[in-house]
Amino acid sequence: MRMRNVLIFFHVLLSAIIPLSAQETDDARKLTGRSAWFIYTELPEGVENPIKVMSGNDIVEITLSKRSVSAPVKIPADGILRVVREIPDPKDANKVVHQILAQAQVAEGVSKALIILMPLKKPQGDLIFTSKVQSLASFKGGDWMFMNLTNAEIGIQFGEKNLPIKPGEMHIHNTPGLTQAISMSISYHFRVPGKKEWELISASTIPVMPTRREICLFSVDPKFGRIDYHGITFPVE
């Protein structure tokens, strides 16, 4: 009787494992090929999070975070990814249609992309976000990506290196050969047009790790009008 119970236990355990493994295989197969990750600067009032992303004919839900990238989304053959919202179909109350809140076009040669969602000051029809697409081809473990989304010049002191970033520009700071975590001093500054003096935003000591990448977005705080930044961690795949 004890042996029979043991066999039943292993049979139940095996039946639970097989569907799970098949599901994991299916999920992995869906994410083969080109992939994109989403981040955002601000989330307009009324926009639900998780958001819905349309990839080809498929719609997936992803969660946006201030401190980490979203789950990956498959880039369809045409390279177009849309953030959508379901609304009642004006022609049929029992159906829904998809309102396009943002649209991004990933170039054909880009296999891995980062899509940055930024609220429009004034919505353009249904669109409430503008989007920026950044290739991740040269973004490796230990690297830092700095994106200046302001009208001011940003100055970064990264260890002994000075990194000036003009308005609207992006810079990736590579750390080739990094095999273990190191500490690095870093400070952020800004300079408004027409002035020579730099103003300090912040200064600290940070860990630089080969197992993850970091993104730093500089933007304008919509409430106070000041230059702000936030960091986003992007683990190495």
Please state, in angstroms and rounded to a whole number, the distance separating the CA atoms of residues 163 and 161. 6
For all residues of the chain together, what is the average pLDDT? Answer: 84
Q: Are residues 151 and 131 in the same domain?
A: no
Where residue 55 falls among pLDDT bands split at 50, 70, 90? very high
Q: How many domains does one find in the chain?
A: 2
Q: Are 237 and 166 within 8 A, CB to CB?
A: no
pTM above 0.85, yes or no: no
Chain centre to alpha carbon of residue 45:
20
Domain residue limits at 126: 33-137
10 part of a folded domain: no
Among residues 137, 154, 188, which one ends one of the domains?
A: 137
- Please state the length of the chain: 237
pLDDT on residue 225: 77
Residue 117: inside a domain, yes or no?
Answer: yes
Pair (127, 165) in one structural domain: no
Q: Are residues 108 and 72 in the same domain?
A: yes
C-alpha distances in angstroms, 102 versus 42, 62, 110, 117? 14, 14, 19, 8
Residues 163 and 187 in one domain: yes
One domain for residues 107 and 176: no
Of the candidates 119, 137, 155, which is a domain's last residue? 137
**Least confident span in 45-54, 88-97, 151-160:** 88-97
Please tell me the distance from the alpha carbon of residue 228 to that of residue 210, in angstroms, as a whole number.
26
Residue 86 within a domain: yes
In a domain, 72, yes or no: yes
What is the reported pLDDT for 219?
Answer: 87
Interatomic CA distance for residues 117 and 102, integer angstroms? 8
Q: Which of 81, 107, 137 is the last residue of a domain?
A: 137
Same domain, 149 and 108: no
